[in-house]
Amino acid sequence: MHKLLPALLLLVSPALFADGLPGSPWIQVSGHGEEHVAPDILRVSLTLEKTSMDAVTARADVEARAAKVLALARKLGLADKDIRAPAVTVEPQYEWRSAPGGDGKQVLVGQHVQRSMTLTLRDVSRYGTLVDGLFADGVTRLDGVEPDSSERDALQQQALAAAVQDAHAKAVALAQGAGVSLGPVYSVSEQAGSRGPRPLMMAAMSRGNAAQPEYLNGEIEIDADVQVYYLIGK
């Protein structure tokens, strides 16, 4: 289903054009196209972290939990190309502590060790198993779940084609309403605001109850926007 965007009919003297715009009267329209599809890919982002005065101990703790996460991912069939696991980062962590008289100072409270990972799950039915395993392996937090489609490139092209068709339909209506004939396309361009996959559902990630985390297999929206200039026929 296409959402119609406002369109503007411009009938202007040739003398007013510059910067690559047409040198004869023209019609400017925008078009929108979108495709809805059930996602078959989930990108799960997670963080493992530990703060301790002993950086070596903290790093060993984080790395041990990271090894468990990697083993779980491979057990669930994730290929190495679907696992993004940069090296750990270590940085001092401070707290501001007040003192009598209103003075205060920054106090070192430990070395903060962190490792973030992104797992690309291509079997969404295993989401619950993955999340249960992540928490069992000591993941500090889940940062997000991004749904996507393995057919995204093809769907993006379809959305672009639909956007151009939408723009053409508007141009035809504007020309008819203005009592002029629609000439050839002068230029067509994709708008910078066009988006990639956008979730139309939420995935349950909480462990607030004993039930296995549930993934709600709704839809994602892949859309595109274009701007088209048509010359007005003579």
Could you report the per-residue pLDDT of 103-132, keeping only the tens digit for each? 788 899 999 999 999 999 999 999 999 999
In the Cβ-directed half-sphere of 192, how many Cα atoms lie within 13 Å? 0
Q: How far apart are CA 92 and CA 19, in angstroms?
A: 53
Taking residue 103's Cβ as centre, other Cβ atoms within 10 Å add up to 7
- Is the pLDDT higher at 170 or at 207? 170
What is the structure's pLDDT at 198?
Answer: 62
What is the structure's pLDDT at 194?
Answer: 53
The C-alpha angle 220, 29, 19, rounded to 5 degrees, equals 115
Q: How far apart are CA 121 and CA 74, in angstroms?
A: 11
Residue 218 pLDDT level (bands cut at 50, 70, 90): confident
User: Per-residue pLDDT for 89 more than 60?
Assistant: yes
- Is the pLDDT higher at 212 or at 11? 212
Burial 66-101 (b: 16+ CB within 10 A, else e): bebbbebbeebebeeebeebeebeeeeeeeeeeeee
DSSP state string for 174-234 = HHHHHT--EEEEEEEEE-TT--S-EESS-B----SSSSPP-B----EEEEEEEEEEEEEP-
What is the structure's pLDDT at 98?
Answer: 83
Average pLDDT for the chain: 85
User: Per-residue pLDDT for 69 more than 60?
Assistant: yes
Q: How far apart are CA 90 and CA 52, in angstroms?
A: 11
Give tens-digit pLDDT for 155-206: 999 999 999 999 999 999 999 999 999 999 999 999 976 555 666 544 444 4
Average pLDDT over residues 214-231: 86
Residue 72 pLDDT level (bands cut at 50, 70, 90): very high
The single-letter DSSP state of residue 123 is -
What is the structure's pLDDT at 197?
Answer: 67
In the chain, what are the domains?
8-38+151-232 (3.30.110.170), 41-148 (3.30.70.2970)
- Is the pLDDT higher at 103 or at 62? 62
The C-alpha angle 184, 224, 186, rounded to 5 degrees, equals 15
